[in-house]
Amino acid sequence: MMNSTGLTFGIYPLGVAGTPVGLAVGPKDDYEKIAIAIEDLKGHAKKLLPRTYAVYMGPESEEKVFAAIDRYYHAGLLGDLTIGCLQDPELSLDYWIQFVRKVVQQYGKYLDSIQITNEPNLTFMDGSKPYVLQALVQGILTAKNEKIKNNLNISIGFGSVPEGQKTIPQFWEKLIDFGGDELINSIDYIGHNFYVDVFEEPLELKKVGVTVENILRKFRETLNTNGIPNSIPIRVTENGWPTGKNPFLEVERTYAQQSKVLESVIRTVHSLQKELVITHYEFFGLRDADSSKDDLFHQFGLMKDDYTPKPAYYTFQNLIKELSN
């Protein structure tokens, strides 16, 4: 069990965001402005982890992926790195294992944590691949081996989303059957990505916190039911509430609402920290992909795409000051 009374905060620092039909993109990332914003948000907290992603798509993609990780390194954005596997089914798992090994060897000393697979229980992300359990388990065991071999101080985990219509049936049972105690003994945390009141009918503010609590209690219960003990912490690895308009419901989402929802979510997570053993909260994300587009997928940021703060920026800054460890 943990002794800390505060959360470690993190944030996705870049502009590109996923949508149901591809990527939301806009103005290029300004690494200098990103660094200033992260330092400003962090204040006197011990750390504010940049959360970045690298997606492996087979050996032909390695050069491009490592170039991206190298950019993050030079920009000071290596903190919590997620590596996903969206390679073609016919490719050998050996390529993936070699990739994980290289990432840990080359960048492990600069990282606070590495997440092996992003949303492996989601049917249209990493979980869409038939080898996802192998990729997750073997990736974690490989990372753990490299951590020990190179005497690295790095946390190793994997991600997930709440169970629902779009998740793999019996994912957790299958995972533990496949990985067993070796997997459980090799992970330092399990991440959970969830978005409350984003893709569905709007919630009253008082119901936001209740929904967050239900999601996190359900998740800890699921882990415990499948033999994953409380000694393995939960991290909220992706959570956000964008401004703009829901393109499906045509509901406008204001800057003021973003600020209020963000505070409700984070205070709820913090209130459950000790009971459910939650160590991290990471927000998605720092800036909008494209503030000129009014759909919510382009407006996840605490800042506009020109790095002008929205009210939620200052709310997040104050919560880090108050609730960080």
- 62 is a domain residue: yes
Confidence check: pLDDT of 7 > 50: yes
User: 291 with 17: CB under 8 angstroms?
Assistant: no
- 96 is a domain residue: yes
Predicted confidence band of residue 1 (pLDDT cuts 50, 70, 90): very low
Question: What's residue 87's pLDDT?
Answer: 62
- 3 is a domain residue: no
Q: For 135-160, b where at least 16 C-beta lie within 10 A, e where not — what string?
A: bbbbbbbbbbebbeeeebebbbbbbb
Angle in degrees, CA 63, 103, 13, rounded to 5: 85
Q: Specify the CATH number for the domain of residue 258.
A: 3.20.20.80
Q: Indicate the pairing of strand 8-12 with strand 48-56.
A: parallel
Confidence check: pLDDT of 183 > 60: yes
- Residue 109 sits at φ, ψ, to 5 deg, of -70, -15
- 276 is a domain residue: yes
Place of tokens 């200033």: 36
- 1 is a domain residue: no
- 66 is a domain residue: yes
Predicted confidence band of residue 277 (pLDDT cuts 50, 70, 90): very high
Question: What's residue 129's pLDDT?
Answer: 79
Confidence check: pLDDT of 132 > 50: yes
Average pLDDT of span 196-206: 88
Q: What is the mean pLDDT of the chain?
A: 93
DSSP conformational letter for 188: S
Predicted confidence band of residue 248 (pLDDT cuts 50, 70, 90): confident
- 47 is a domain residue: yes
Question: What's residue 3's pLDDT?
Answer: 46
- 54 is a domain residue: yes
Cα–Cα dist 128/124, whole Å: 5
- Top-confidence residue, 318 or 60: 318
Domain that holds residue 189: 8-323
Question: What's residue 90's pLDDT?
Answer: 62
The count of domains in the chain is: 1
Predicted confidence band of residue 2 (pLDDT cuts 50, 70, 90): very low
Question: What's residue 91's pLDDT?
Answer: 60
Question: What's residue 234's pLDDT?
Answer: 98
Cα–Cα dist 150/87, whole Å: 27
Whether the link from the prior residue into 139 is cis, omega within 30° of 0, is no
Cα–Cα dist 200/194, whole Å: 13
Cα–Cα dist 167/144, whole Å: 27
